[in-house]
Amino acid sequence: MVLFGYQTYAQTFTNYTIANTSTALCDNSVTFIAIDAQGNKWFGTYYGVSKFDGTTWTTYTTADGLASNYINSIAIDAQGNKWFGTTYGVSKFDGTTWTTYTTTDGLASNSVWSIAIDAQGNKWFGTYYGVSKFDGTTWTTYTTTDGLASNSVRSIAIDAQGNKWFGTWGGGVSKFDGTTWTTYTTADGLADNDVFSIAIDAQGNKWFGTGGGVSKFDGTTWTTYTTADGLASNSVGSIAIDAQGNKWFGTYGGVSKFDGTNWTTYTTSDGLADNAVYSIAIDAQGNKWFGTGGGVSKFDGTTWTTYTTADGLASNSVGSIAIDAQGNKWFGTYGGVSKFDGTNWTTYTTTDGLADNDVTSIAIDEQGNKWFGTGGGVSKFDGTTWTTYTTADGLADNSVTSIAIDAQGNKWFGTGGGVSKFDGTTWTTYTTSDGLASNTVLSIAIDAQGNKWFGTWGGGVSKFNGTTWTTYTTADGLASNSVGSIAIDAQGNKWLGTGDEWLGGGVSKFDGTTWTTYTTSDGLADNSVYSIAIDAQGNKWFGTWGGVSKFDGTTWTTYTTSDGLASNTVLSIAIDAQGNKWFGTWGGGVSKLDETNTSILIANHLAAVQVYPNPTNNILYVTGMENGTVQIFDLAGTLLLNLQNTDNQINVLNLQKGIYIIKMSNGSRTFVGKFVKQ
């Protein structure tokens, strides 16, 4: 272990999150829904729990006593206590007091995926390391050594005879009658061995939602339904059965209703908030409540009503920030765009005219028009009207990662398919065939001479003077060929934030002749650098995966969550006219920094964590972070996997192709990085 002492500043951090800017749902990714005896709806999300009494929303987070803000499951007992399964244990809430149970108390694992309560009041918790039963005093754990099909238990249901049915990850379904274990797999007729949800109808039939469709088991015969029969998608994460016996299946392609003969599917085109449906609950009036990746939808059989986070910050993952001439802050998130005037929050989404809710870049032109780069094209907003441009208009690719505007008013868009220039009428696209280093363009900057600098993924930096292309790579002195951010100082120096695979590359400075690289050994918080800003004093601010670093040319100062930063993963930076620094983070919301006074901070740099290969097809190997918790998220901040690293191998075979975030923690340290699944 090497210790570095840095001079830093005591400071005032003000954090804005969904929880403290919204009077509505705390997060649009709703993983679980439960309804209590009073008719209150309880929504579990990745940013806490929201209670809705029909009029008022109340949000509970770790600040109130919740074990973790990542909620996987909810159950309500006969006394009205709410039980929340989280990634860091189980929390019980009696309406006043919070009580948390973890492995220290007897829980099999702190990753709790599912909860059920039997007729005797025993609580059954499905975890990553088996099933735990809690009778209020004693904990009893069952694992594969007892007869459980797999230790990763994703769903639980209890039938009229008191049998417990456990849906597992990879092992099928296990039935436990209190003495004997019986396991059913695909060999018996189950659609798939990954079982995410279970429901039992009035006739005693068991319905299993799996990764391969829905299976019905009447005790003798297995019947499977898939998309070929009318199911919206074969990935079925939730099931509910209404008073008429209709089965409702939440899938990644919408909601399907099955009346025993006919299938009816509802999607966003009907009014559903999002087609990824994680949870379903039915209230006493027969209304169906669907927890989705885009908020909560209520369906009364005719009308759809959607509830979202729209009353505050759109999402806690903020990938871009811009400040307009009036001082309004515009935050591009993975849930839309939020505008903050210092008092009020206004959110814009696809419902308003935004091309896509994943907003990765923002630029503001001389006329005050806002340009938003999204996953579905570019949207221009003049304050009243939205105009969207896509590949149909001439854009190189609809995935727009960066925007810059030159002195002539031309807009330059970095995309996944090259660079597009738009002069207001004509589109011109440049790709590798023209001289661009790589068609995946992550960042753009324009210098005083009008040269355009394009940071790419894996190809280095390309400079374009309007005629000639020049590319710089690691062979020239660049820290890494993946360049996620660029800034140009008053002296014309180019500052390039890089990040390659796990350890990143650091920051490279280029004065036109000489390359200088700065890394963690110099004082940089982390070598993966995704945002850069330069203040009026010439200080450089670098947003990294390990916090924010300020460099005055001599001294490095780093700020992290221990100082008040909302999250150590800083995706975007902007500086307002008063000199306040605004940091958009991944998963933590927005932090505003007002610097004052001085003090001393000791930064602790531990041995490097490595995860490889990257990209990978199926298995990631870990060194430097043994026996810790592993969480894998998509770029929108949605938790996809939560497990324990016990053998230094992580199976990602079931993930779709794309870029993911991995977070690992073993109690004494935390590592956050990215990887590509091929």
SS (H, E, C) 56-86: CEEEECCCCCCCCCCEEEEEECCCCCEEEEE
pLDDT at 669: 52
Does 223 lie in the same domain as 289?
A: yes
pLDDT at 7: 35
Tell me which H or E stretch contains 19.
Answer: helix 18-21
Q: Is residue 221 part of a domain?
A: yes
Contact 582, 574 (CB under 8 A): yes
Contact 469, 436 (CB under 8 A): yes
* HEC profile of 241-267: ECCCCCEEEEEECEEEEECCCCEEEEC
Number of neighbours of residue 434 by Cβ within 10 angstroms: 13
Give the pair of three-digit tokens for residue 309.
Answer: 């986070």
For the domain that residue 656 is a member of, what is the CATH number? Answer: 2.60.40.3080
Q: Which residues lie closer than 8 Å to 554 by C-beta, 6 or more apart?
A: none
Does 132 lie in the same domain as 76?
A: yes
DSSP label at residue 355:
S
* HEC profile of 412-424: EEEECCEEEEECC
Distance, in Å, from the CA atom of 332 to the CA atom of 310, rounded to the nearest integer, reads: 14
pLDDT at 600: 24
* HEC profile of 429-498: EECCCCCCCCCCEEEEEECCCCCEEEEECCCCEEEECCCCEEEECCCCCCCCCCEEEEEECCCCCEEEEE
Does 128 lie in the same domain as 158?
A: yes
Q: Is residue 401 part of a domain?
A: no
Q: Is residue 129 part of a domain?
A: yes
DSSP label at residue 618:
S
pLDDT at 501: 42
pLDDT at 502: 44
Does 619 lie in the same domain as 569?
A: no
Does 633 lie in the same domain as 530?
A: no
Q: Single out the residue in 307, 334, 363 at which a domain terminates.
A: 307
pLDDT at 671: 64
pLDDT at 550: 96
Does 598 lie in the same domain as 533?
A: yes
Give the pair of three-digit tokens for residue 271.
Answer: 């009014």
DSSP label at residue 334:
B
Does 666 lie in the same domain as 534?
A: no
Q: In total, how many domains does the chain have?
A: 3
Q: Is residue 276 part of a domain?
A: yes
Give the pair of three-digit tokens for residue 299.
Answer: 């369906």
For the domain that residue 11 is a member of, what is the CATH number? Answer: 2.40.10
Q: Single out the residue in 562, 583, 604 at which a domain terminates.
A: 604
Q: Is residue 657 part of a domain?
A: yes
DSSP label at residue 609:
P
Distance, in Å, from the CA atom of 165 to the CA atom of 359, rounded to the nearest integer, reads: 42
- The CA dihedral of 174, 177, 178, 184, to the nearest 10 degrees, is -20
Q: Is residue 528 part of a domain?
A: yes
Distance, in Å, from the CA atom of 377 to the CA atom of 20, rounded to the nearest integer, reads: 30
Q: Which residues lie closer than 8 Å to 577 by C-beta, 6 or more apart?
A: 323, 327
Does 253 lie in the same domain as 104?
A: yes
Does 243 lie in the same domain as 114?
A: yes
Does 193 lie in the same domain as 258?
A: yes
- The CA dihedral of 623, 628, 629, 635, to the nearest 10 degrees, is -30
Q: Single out the residue in 274, 307, 340 at which a domain terminates.
A: 307
Give the pair of three-digit tokens for residue 503.
Answer: 């350890």
pLDDT at 607: 38
Could you give phi then psi for residue 281, rounded to 5 degrees? -145, 150
Q: Is residue 472 part of a domain?
A: no
Does 113 lie in the same domain as 83?
A: yes
Q: Which residues lie closer than 8 Å to 291 by C-beta, 6 or more apart?
A: 30, 31, 32, 33, 43, 44, 238, 250, 277, 278, 279, 280
Contact 181, 174 (CB under 8 A): yes
pLDDT at 219: 96
Does 242 lie in the same domain as 151?
A: yes
- Mean pLDDT (10-residue bins), the chain, 678 residues: 32 64 72 93 89 87 88 95 95 96 95 96 96 97 96 96 96 97 97 96 97 96 97 95 96 95 93 90 92 88 80 74 92 88 86 91 95 95 96 96 95 96 96 96 95 95 97 96 95 90 77 96 93 94 94 93 84 90 85 58 38 74 70 69 70 76 66 70
Contact 165, 173 (CB under 8 A): yes
Pairing verdict, β 400-405 and 386-389: unpaired
Residue 147 backbone class (left: φ over 0; alpha: ψ -120 to 50; beta: rest):
left
For the domain that residue 76 is a member of, what is the CATH number? Answer: 2.130.10.10
Beta-sheet strand order (sheet of 236-241): 236-241, 247-251, 254-258, 263-266
The whole domain housing 639 covers 610-677
Distance, in Å, from the CA atom of 417 to the CA atom of 15, rounded to the nearest integer, reads: 36
Q: Is residue 633 part of a domain?
A: yes
